[in-house]
A = this chain, B = another copy of it.
Amino acid sequence: MRRHLVIIGGGAGGASTAAEAKRIDPDLQITMIEQGKHVSVAACPMPYFVGDTIKQEHKLIARTPEAFRESGVDVLLKTRVERVDTDQRRVYLSDGPEIVYDRLLVATGASPILPGIPGQDLDRVYTLRSLEEAIAIKALVQSGCRRAVIIGAGFIAMEMSDALTGFGLDVRIAHRDERPVTRWGVEFTERLMSTFAERGVLFMPKTTISRIDQNADRSLRLTTNQGEIETDLVVIAIGIRPNVTLAKAMGLQLGDSGAIRVNLSQQTSVANVYATGDCTEVYHRVARRWVNVPLGDIANKQGRVAGQVIGGRPAVMPGIVGAQSFKFFDLELAATGLGEQEAVRYGFHPVSATAWAPPTAPSMRQKEDIETGLKLIADQSTGMLLGAQAVGRRGAVQKIDVLSATLWYEARLDDLASMDFGYAPPFGGAWDLIHIVSRLLLKKL
């Protein structure tokens, strides 16, 4: 008899597991259950779909239900799982027959955190967690709305402010704290702040919203501690949290982060139950502990491992170093590893240094060149690299990708100070910014 894999959730974690498991074991029977209308939607490019860099919505769908079905994966859309009996290995749906599984994958993803204020569910108040919302925002913007308020100032809020400004909207960012994207140090967010000013985005620090009301013409009115704001559109982007209600009911252990605890083969604490994606923890190689980092590329990697293991081939997810980047107008922001506060929390003794350099050799520098900034954070007692942050018009992601690779191997600063890169004058100095900052930081050990 064919073994049966049942997958709860059709996001990146579920879809990548299905694809890989089928590749390894073509005989495996797979059923993927998704409560929404789509599977395999790429969430990361959504701001670029809203901003119309990506014109067609189908480009956000990595694999359609039809394509899954053709490869032999049953896909149940608009279907909710009511309950799972892990002893009997049965999944009960809100509507339809129960399903017996041999292996179960929980890939329930994450949901937007809502501020818990009156009006948060109004029409024209969005969270950008589904393709439907992205389509609705884009339609509204293209129908001529003029004003938008983004609540929150994480990287998705930044991407959305860029996308909406591109349509000529008057964009405000209402943020409860002083500065956006606190993963990056003040010297780097300073660059974001000047970009806000240049691009006409109004950043409103220390702003809390107490309610949202709808006007007669369907426009919205926000009541804030800074007074009232009239707008046509609200995007709430204050973070997401793992969906673990079902996992808890099933008795799966959660980790300290609140996400589902898994081992390096993506197995949960319950026999025959696996988990992948935003609802799970992942091993952070630098922090040396399990964390919840809801990013699509991590979900894909976990899915590949889970798919191999379920398909019958041993595999491990070696963890992450915590690399991340985003584009904001003409700026690249990127970071990896730990920030200073995190490092302290995890028992390290961080020291840091920052330097700036043009994206070419100094001799080739052009007047219009914007310097790239790089900050390295190391452990004072061991000289081990702990993390890095970068900003620039080009080269910031490059530096962070290189440093991510070195973090993977537990780099020490003295390695970084002499490692050879593909130096040529159009691409940087003979002493790379990585060498320069490493050397500055070595003096602080």
Contacts and interface: CB of A to CB of B under 8 A. Distances in A.
Interface of A: 12, 42, 44-45, 48, 53-54, 59-60, 295-298, 300-301, 304, 317-318, 320-327, 332, 334-336, 361-364, 397-398, 400-406, 408-409, 411, 414-415, 418-427, 430-431
Contacts of A304: 418
Contact of A364 (B48, B400, B402, B408): B48
A430 B397 contact: no
A404 B431 contact: no
A158 to B, nearest CB: 11
Contacts of A422: 323-325, 334-336, 397, 400-401, 404
A425 B363 contact: no
A298 B298 CA distance: 36
24 contacts: A12-B430, A44-B361, A44-B423, A44-B425, A45-B361, A48-B425, A54-B363, A59-B363, A295-B423, A297-B421, A301-B420, A318-B414, A318-B415, A321-B420, A323-B422, A325-B424, A398-B398, A398-B401, A400-B422, A401-B401, A401-B402, A402-B402, A404-B419, A405-B406
A419 B301 CA distance: 9
Copies, count: 2
A334 B424 CA distance: 10
6 closest Cβ pairs, A-B complex: A325-B422, A409-B409, A334-B422, A398-B398, A405-B405, A59-B363
B53 A418 contact: no
A427 B332 contact: yes
Given A324-B423, A398-B402, A404-B420, 16 more contacts: A42-B361, A45-B363, A48-B425, A54-B364, A59-B362, A297-B431, A320-B420, A323-B422, A325-B422, A325-B427, A397-B398, A398-B401, A402-B404, A402-B405, A404-B421, A406-B408
A192 to B, nearest CB: 15
A146 to B, nearest CB: 26
Contacts of A297: 420-421, 423, 430-431
A54 B336 CA distance: 35
A362 B411 CA distance: 32
Nearest to A430: B297
* Most chain B C-beta atoms within 10 Å of own C-beta, residue among A53, A336, A424: A424
Contact of A426 (B322, B327, B364): B327
A70 to B, nearest CB: 20
A403 B404 CA distance: 11
A152 to B, nearest CB: 18
A404 B398 CA distance: 12
A332 B395 CA distance: 14
B326 A418 contact: no
A323 B421 contact: yes
Contact of A363 (B60, B403, B423): B60
B295 A363 contact: no
A404 B426 CA distance: 19
